[in-house]
Amino acid sequence: MSTKRSTYVMSGDSFFEPGVPIYVNRAQEAFEMHTHSHEFIEITYISEGSGVHYIGDESVSVEQGTLIFIPIGLSHVFRPKTPKKDSPLIVYNCLFPLEYLYELRSGFPQASEMIDFFTNEKLSWYSAKDSKGIYNSMFYEMYHEFSARPPGYFAVMTSLVIRMLTGLYRHQIQINMPVKDMPQWMAVDKAIDYINRNYESELKLREIAAKANLSERQFSRLFQRQTGMNFINYIQNIRMEAACRLLVTNHCSVTEISVAVGYTDLKFFHQLFKKKTGSTPRQYRATARIDQIQE
């Protein structure tokens, strides 16, 4: 399905305050929202739910963890997957004018190449998947800073915008470059991203190194340098982090969670979990629930 270009153009005057060229909100998308374009740049993060993003002449499925860069003048709108109120599509939006990027380039000349990429008039929209929840944390922090406005809030927001843009820039470089042409750090970064998205699968050093077009010895050395951990420890940590999230956020049994994060040996899972967290899975869940009640 495609959408027609809209004549409804959002002006920055409706969002930006004097001296604060960044606007952040958290909104629930609805079917009543009109297709629109805007005079500013927008970075959107899908915080909850799923749906469809109609942008330009395309319709693209979106889900929790989707990050989208939307340039000036491109018509778009989000639609929830269903009109049911128990399945909302919740998004974070970060808006800023093009002039703000010029200010960043002036203040951060080391980032000029990256800023030039985002100020290119021919740049189209694109999206990335937040496999580790890093952008979720950044948007949460940015929304808090923008809403509460504690001392130094704008400096924190600017640092977060630079981090987001840097991540999007690196992602765009990676997807457009063949593995054989990638610098080694980038090939390892791509392998790390693959691990983050597939931690529940059987991951073998030999196969991951081959994906990065590196020997096992080269890959292990670079992996250790870039993560501070060896291959096995990194995977174990990623799986234990996922297990901790599942223990807190759902009611699955410990056995089900063990399998969900990649361990069919329940005894080994228990031993590893206690080694990494200092408590058993059931103790961790009980403590987390008490903390939630007290909050």
- Provide the number of structural domains found in the chain: 3
Q: Are residues 14 and 149 in the same domain?
A: yes
Residue 256 is assigned to a structural domain of this protein: yes
Which residues, at least 6 apart from 110, have a Cβ–Cβ distance to it below 8 Å? none
Q: Are residues 75 and 207 in the same domain?
A: no
How high is the pLDDT of residue 291? 64
Q: Are residues 90 and 53 in the same domain?
A: yes
Task: Return the bridge partners of 28, or none.
Answer: 90
Q: Are residues 221 and 248 in the same domain?
A: no
Which residues, at least 6 apart from 188, have a Cβ–Cβ distance to it below 8 Å? 212, 214, 219, 222, 223, 226
Residue 73 is assigned to a structural domain of this protein: yes
Phi, psi of 78 (to 5 degrees): -100, 145
β-pair type (66-70, 126-129): antiparallel
Could you tell me the residue range of the domain that residue 222 belongs to? 179-228
Question: Among residues 175, 191, 206, which one ends one of the domains?
Answer: 175
Amino acid residing at 186 = M
Can you give the pLDDT of all 295 residues of the chain as single tens digits?
Answer: 344 444 689 999 999 999 999 999 999 998 888 899 999 999 999 999 999 999 999 999 999 999 999 999 999 999 998 887 778 999 999 999 999 999 999 999 999 999 999 999 889 999 998 877 889 999 999 999 999 999 999 999 999 999 999 999 988 887 777 777 888 988 898 899 899 989 999 999 999 999 999 999 999 999 999 999 999 999 999 999 999 999 998 889 999 999 999 999 999 999 999 999 999 999 999 988 776 665 5
Q: What is the pTM of this model?
A: 0.72
Phi, psi of 270 (to 5 degrees): -60, -45
Amino acid residing at 172 = Q
Residue 146 is assigned to a structural domain of this protein: yes
Question: For residue 249, what is the domain's CATH number?
Answer: 1.10.10.60
Question: For residue 79, what is the domain's CATH number?
Answer: 2.60.120.280
Q: Are residues 143 and 197 in the same domain?
A: no
